[in-house]
Amino acid sequence: MSTSTLPDRPAATDEAPTGPLRPRSRRPRRGRRDRKSTALTVAMALMLAYTLLPLVWLTFGSTKSNDGLFSSRGLWFADDFAFFDNVHDVLTYEDGIYLRWFANNLLYSVVGAGGAALIATLGGYALAKFEFAGRRLMFALVLGAISIPGTALAVPTYLLFSDAGIVNTPWAVILPSLASPFGLYLMRVYAADAVPDAMLEAARMDGAGELRIFFTISLRLLAPGFVTVLLFALVATWNNYFLPLIVLNDPNWFPLTVGLNRWNGQANGGSVAGDTPIYPILLTGSLLAIVPLIVAFLFLQRFWQSGLSAGGVKQ
Secondary structure of the chain in HEC code, one letter for each residue = CCCCCCCCCCCCCCCCCCCCCCCCCCCCCHHHHHHHHHHHHHHHHHHHHHHHHHHHHHHHHCCCCHHHHHHCCCCCCCCCCCHHHHHHHHHHCCCCHHHHHHHHHHHHHHHHHHHHHHHHHHHHHHHHHCCCCCHHHHHHHHHHHHCCCHHHHHHHHHHHHHHHCCCCCCHHHHHHHCCCHHHHHHHHHHHHHHCCHHHHHHHHHCCCCHHHHHHHHHHHHCHHHHHHHHHHHHHHHHCCCHHHHHHCCCHHHCCHHHHHHHHHHHHHHCEECCCEEHHHHHHHHHHHHHHHHHHHHHHHHHHHHHHHHHCCCCC
Residue-wise pLDDT for 73-108, tens only, equals 888 888 888 899 889 999 998 888 999 999 999 999
Per-domain boundaries in the chain: 37-81, 95-310
Query: Rounded distance, CA 253 to CA 264, Å?
Result: 18
Q: What pLDDT, on the 0 to 100 scale, is given for residue 36? A: 83
207: left (phi over 0), alpha (psi -120 to 50) or beta: left
What is the C-alpha radius of gyration for the chain, rounded to an integer number of angstroms?
Answer: 31
Q: What pLDDT, on the 0 to 100 scale, is given for residue 9? A: 52
Query: Rounded distance, CA 306 to CA 312, Å?
Result: 10
Query: Rounded distance, CA 238 to CA 255, Å?
Result: 8
In our burial notation (b when 16+ CB lie closer than 10 A, e otherwise), range 219-234 reads bebbebbbbbbbbbbb
Tens digit of each residue's pLDDT, the chain (315 residues):
444 454 555 555 545 555 555 555 555 566 677 788 888 999 999 999 998 999 999 999 898 888 888 888 888 888 888 899 889 999 998 888 999 999 999 999 999 999 999 999 999 999 999 988 888 898 888 888 888 888 888 889 999 999 999 999 999 999 999 999 999 999 999 999 889 999 999 999 988 889 999 999 999 899 888 988 998 999 999 999 999 999 999 999 999 999 999 888 887 655 454 556 788 899 999 999 999 998 888 888 776 555 444 544 444
Query: Rounded distance, CA 171 to CA 247, Å?
Result: 10
Residues 177, 240 contacting (CB under 8 angstroms) = yes
In sequence order, which residues have a C-beta less than 8 Å from that of residue 255 and are 6 or more positions away? 101, 104, 105, 108, 173, 240, 241, 244
Superfamily of domain 95-310: MetI-like (1.10.3720.10)
Query: Rounded distance, CA 185 to CA 127, Å?
Result: 9
Query: Rounded distance, CA 163 to CA 245, Å?
Result: 18
Work out the burial of residue 265: count CB atoms within 10 Å of its CB; fewer than 13 is exposed, 13-18 middle, 19 or more buried. Answer: exposed
Q: What pLDDT, on the 0 to 100 scale, is given for residue 97? A: 93
Residue-wise pLDDT for 269-287, tens only, equals 554 545 567 888 999 999 9
In sequence order, which residues have a C-beta less than 8 Å from that of residue 315 and are 6 or more positions away? 193, 196
Q: What pLDDT, on the 0 to 100 scale, is given for residue 56? A: 92
Q: What pLDDT, on the 0 to 100 scale, is given for residue 265? A: 83
Smallest CA-to-CA distance from 304 within 233, 239, 218, 214 is with 233
Task: Give pTM, 2 decimals.
Answer: 0.79
